[in-house]
Amino acid sequence: MRTQWAALGALLLLSACGGGKRPGHFEYGIQYFDDGDYTDAARHFGLAWEEKKQAHALFNLGLAQLKLGDYQAAVRTYRQYLTQNGDDWQAHTNLGHALAGTGDTQAAAEAFEEGIALNGTWPEPYCAFAQHLLSRNTPETDRKALEWLDKAVAIGSEDSTAWYLHGRAAYRLGDRSTARNDFQQAVARDADNRPARMLLADILRAEEDWSGARRHYMTAAVQRADHASLLGAGICHRQLGEYVMAQDALNRALRKAPDDPITQRELLLTNLEAAKANLAALAKKGKLDPQTKTQLEAAVAAMQEALKP
């Protein structure tokens, strides 16, 4: 099950205009929001609220303000909305996000808990509260987040985001086995959950499961070829003796981060191991002529020198 609610609640939609009626500010707001133009979306939702005082316009205004990072404005908007719609659990959850953005962690926790009290049958409010707790980055809040996420995965066992967050909390608390299982559950439910896939690959690499880690790094690189996925794939290829593929991945990683010393060293190490393997293979086949032998041995010696601390 693919879930994309992790940051914000869903946009409330209005029925499409019919009978040739011209779209109003609310419809324009939805269009701009869907296009990622949150400034104009907020402007039109605000005008729609002023014009007709419709609650869904106010709710969507708060969403646009959250997307813009205007947390103080979003707090005001959702508090105003909740004066007339106090039983809307999603609005309480979004208010929690806004309050967390302002740094008011206590009020944020209260808003998230209110969302859970109003709707404890969906994983979203549990996960939203857990994200807030994880952002505080202390062992105590990580443990508290894990408690809420235990409930989230029990309620939403097919929810990829809930499994991913559960894995993050477990990993930070040092429970690598649980984290590995959680990330596997997350990617099984949503193959596009790239953050879960990358953390799973990191765990498998630390456990020296080179084939498993390689598979996930390569899939992540197909989804988005960033430095981390290419570096991880290159390291795994090298460990598996796949030097040509390692060189390709590491050269691509180096183009993303030319000054990264880890990538530079990994590429040099890959080239060294590839040269040694080439020497051994040619010697075994009886095809190592003196000139080639001298050249390869000189290259190996130079790379070994360069790898010295």
CATH for 69: 1.25.40.10
- Mean pLDDT (the chain, rounded): 89
Mean predicted confidence (pLDDT) in 255-278: 93
Output the six-digit token pair for 63: 């969403």
Q: How far apart are alpha carbons 242 and 22 in whole angstroms? A: 61
Residue 46 lies in a domain: yes
Residue 114 lies in a domain: yes
Q: How far apart are alpha carbons 260 and 227 in whole angstroms? A: 10
Contacts for 101 with CB less than 8 Å, ≥ 6 apart: 66, 69, 71, 74
Percent of the chain exceeding pLDDT 90 equals: 68
Residue 291 lies in a domain: no
Amino acid at site 250: L
The pLDDT value recorded for residue 15 is: 39
- Between the CA of residue 89 and those of 121, 125, 126, 137, 292, what are the distances in Å? 11, 8, 11, 26, 73
Q: How far apart are alpha carbons 131 and 303 in whole angstroms? A: 46
User: How does DSSP assign 39-83, residue by residue?
Assistant: HHHHHHHHHHHHHH--HHHHHHHHHHHHHHT-HHHHHHHHHHHHH
Residue 133 lies in a domain: no
3-state secondary structure 149-188: HHHHHHHCCCCHHHHHHHHHHHHHCCCHHHHHHHHHHHHH
Longest CA–CA span in the chain (Å) reads 88
The pLDDT value recorded for residue 8 is: 47
Rank 10-19, 89-98, 132-141, 221-230 by mean pLDDT and report only the highest.
Answer: 221-230
pLDDT tens readout for residues 274-294: 988 888 887 777 777 888 788
The pLDDT value recorded for residue 21 is: 62
Residue 266 lies in a domain: no
Rank 84-88, 149-153, 248-252 by mean pLDDT and report only the highest.
Answer: 248-252
Residue 141 lies in a domain: no
- Between the CA of residue 212 and those of 141, 147, 230, what are the distances in Å? 31, 29, 15
Cα Rg of the chain, angstroms: 26
Residue 55 lies in a domain: yes
Structural domain that includes position 57: 25-119
The pLDDT value recorded for residue 191 is: 97
Residue 127 lies in a domain: no
pLDDT tens readout for residues 93-135: 999 999 989 989 889 889 988 988 998 788 888 898 898 889 8
Task: Name the pTM for this structure.
Answer: 0.76
Angle at 28 between CA 45 and CA 83, to 5 degrees: 20
- Counting the structural domains of the chain, the total is 1
Rank 119-128, 156-165, 235-244 by mean pLDDT and report only the highest.
Answer: 235-244
Residue 56 confidence class, pLDDT cut points 50, 70, 90: very high
Percent of the chain exceeding pLDDT 70 equals: 93
